[in-house]
Chain A
Amino acid sequence: MTREGIVNAVIALGLLLVPLWALWANEPFTITLATKVAILALAGVGLNLALGLGGLVSLGHAVFFGIGGYAMGILAQHAQTFDPIMEAPFLIEGTKSMPVIWLVAVVSSALAALAIGALSLRTSGVYFIMITLAFGQMFYYFAISWPAYGGEDGLSIYVRNEFPGLNTLNPIEFFGITYVLLLAALFLSARIAASPFGLALTSARQSPQRVETVGLRPFRLRLTVFVISGAITGLAGALFADLNRFVSPTMFSWQMSGEIMIFVILGGVARLFGPVAGAALFILLEHWLGGVSEYWLIWVGALLLAVVLFAPGGLIGLVTRGQK
C-alpha cells in the first residue's frame, strides 16, 4: 500500500470511528458534526473532479449544491402539505423518499451542469472563474426572489425524509447513509481518475493540443467531468438540506462555492481524500474556534494562506510529502 493509501484508509476509518464512539459515549452532537463532514466532503469530492482532474476552477459549484438542496426542499414541502407540484398535463406529487429525492437532485444538477458547462467551458482561466461565479449569483438571486418556495426565508421541512428500512431521524443511521454515499463517490472518482477518460483529462489539463492530435476533444472531456462533478455536488446538497431540514438561498451563495473550494484546497487538490480531510478540518475549526471568537474565519484564512504558500499538496500532500 502506498503512503497516500494508508493516509486515506486512516481518514476513512477515523470518520467512521468518531461517530461510533459518540454513539457509545452518548454524544449525538458529535454524530451530527461527523455527518456534516461526510456531506460537505461529498460536495468537495464533486468539485475535486472538476478542479483536480479537469483543472477547472469553478466558483459556481454552489449552484449544484443549491439545486440539490431545493430538489429536496420542494419535493418534501409538497409532500408535507399534500399539495401536488403540478396536476396538468400529468400529476406530479411531492415525496419524502430519499432515493427519489437523490435521483431528482442528481439529474437536475447534472442538467444544470451541462448547460452551464456548455457555455462557460468555451472560456478558460479567469474568464471561466467569473462566468461560473456569475451563474452562481443568478441562481442565488433567483432563489431569493421566488416567493413560492420561501424566497429569502427558505423552506423548513418538519420531519427528515425517509429511507426504506432505516430510521433517518436517528443520527447514527443518517450518518451511515451519508458515509456510504461518500465512499461510493470516492470509489467512483478513483475509477474515473484511472480510466482512459480520466487520463486523457489529466493530459488535457497540461497539453490540450497533444490530446487533440490523438483524436480527443478537450472540450468534451471537460464538459463530461463538469457534469459528473455537478451531479455529485448536487447529491451532497440534497443530503445537506436533509441534515438541517432547512433550505435557503445561502446554499446558492458564492460563499458556499468558496467554502467547497476551501475543503478541496486545504485537503489537497487532485488528491482522492483531499476534500474529506479538508472538510473535516474545516468543521473542527468551525466548532473549536467558533466557540472562541465570532471572527473564527480569519484563522481559516491564515491557514489557507499557509497551505497555499507552503504546502501546495494540501494536508494529504503534507503527510505524504509529495509521494503518490
Chain B
Amino acid sequence: MSTMIDISDLHAGYGTGEVLKGVDLCVDQGETVALMGRNGMGKTTTVRALCGLLPARGGTVKVAGSDIAGLAAHKVARMGIGLVPEGRRCFPNLTVAENLVAAARIGSWDMARVTELFPRLAERKDQMAASLSGGEQQMLAIGRALMTNPRALILDEATEGLAPVVRSEIWDAIASVRAETGLSILVIDKSLKELRRIADRGVILDRGQSEWTGNLDELSVDEAARLLGV
C-alpha cells in the first residue's frame, strides 16, 4: 500500500513560538486516520503545514511521495490535498451551487454526486452560503473539497459546534465517502466514540509531538484521560 501523506519529524510555528516539535504522521492510500489531542497541541498547525499554508521549519511533509517544501498552497491542493477547513469556511458571497462550481476540477466527483451525498445542498442550491445553517455550511465545505477531486481529504473539526442530529448526519456522510471511494482521509475531531467507529488508526498529539499512535480501540482509559482529557 502506498503512502499518501507522510509527515516526519515536522517542526513549525508562528513568530518566535514553536508549536510543532516533531510530529510524525502518515496516512496510507485509502486509509482513514484520526488526529487527536487537547486544545493547543498542534492539530490545526499540522494541517496548515500539510496544506502549504505554513512553512515547515524542520522535518518533511510528503504528499504521494513528493516533498511539498516551498510549494504554494494552491500547488499542494492540486497535488490532491482537499482541505475542509476549521470553522466551515465556505465562500459566503456565493450561492451553494456557485461554491461548488468555483472549486470544481475534473474527476468522478461532480455536482450530481455531491448533492447525492448531501441532498440538502440540492434543496438550497440557489441560496447564499452565508445564509445556511452551520450543518449545511459544513456539508457545503465538504462538498466543495470533494469537487476538487482530491486524493486525500482533510477534515479539520468537521463536527465542532453542531447539533447532535446534524453531527451524526456528517459522520454518516464521511463514512459513506470512506466506504465508496479509495480516498485517504485525515480527520481531526474530539469525539473518540465516532472516531473509533470510522478511523483505521489514531495519532494523538501532545505538546507538538506525536505521543501515541495505534488502533483507537487499544487506547487505554488512562492514556485517554492523560492525552485527551476524557
Contacts and interface: CB of A to CB of B under 8 A. Distances in A.
Most buried by B among A209, A211, A213: A213
A210 B129 CA distance: 14
Interface of B: 51, 53, 72-74, 77-78, 82-83, 85, 89-94, 98, 101-105, 144-145, 147-148
CB-based closest 6 A-B pairs: A215-B77, A199-B102, A203-B91, A212-B73, A214-B103, A217-B74
B101 A203 contact: no
Nearest to A206: B93
Interface string A180-204: 0000000000000000100110110
A74 interface: no
B53 A216 contact: no
Contact of A214 (B53, B77, B94, B98): B77
B96 to A, nearest CB: 12
A207 interface: yes
A46 to B, nearest CB: 23
A207 B73 contact: no
Contacts of B94: 199, 202-203
Q: For the side of the interface on A, what is the size category?
A: 10 to 19
A199 B85 contact: no
Contact of B85 (A200, A203, A210, A217): A210
Contacts of A202: 91, 93-94, 102
B77 A213 contact: yes
17 contacts: A199-B102, A200-B103, A202-B102, A203-B93, A203-B94, A206-B91, A206-B93, A210-B91, A211-B91, A212-B53, A213-B53, A213-B74, A213-B85, A214-B77, A214-B82, A214-B103, A215-B78
Determine the main DSSP class of A at the interface with B: helix
Contacts of A215: 74, 77-78, 103, 105, 148
A212 to B, nearest CB: 4
A214 B72 contact: no
Contacts, number: 63
Contacts of B78: 215
Contacts of B104: 196
B148 A214 contact: yes
A202 B90 CA distance: 13
A196 B102 CA distance: 5
Given A213-B85, A214-B102, A207 B74 contact: no
A213 B102 contact: no
Nearest to B92: A206
B93 A212 contact: no
Nearest to A198: B102
B143 to A, nearest CB: 11
Nearest to A205: B93
Nearest to B77: A215
B73 A213 contact: yes
Contacts of A196: 101-102, 104
Nearest to A194: B98
B133 to A, nearest CB: 19
A143 to B, nearest CB: 38
Interface string A210-232: 11111111000000000000000
B161 to A, nearest CB: 19
A213 B90 CA distance: 11
Contacts of B103: 200, 214-216
B102 A212 contact: no
Interface in A215-272: 215-217
Contacts of A203: 91, 93-94, 102
A52 to B, nearest CB: 13
Given A196-B101, A202-B94, A214 B89 contact: no
Contact of B72 (A199, A207, A210, A217): A217
Contacts of B53: 209, 212-213
Contacts of B90: 210
Contacts of A207: 89, 91
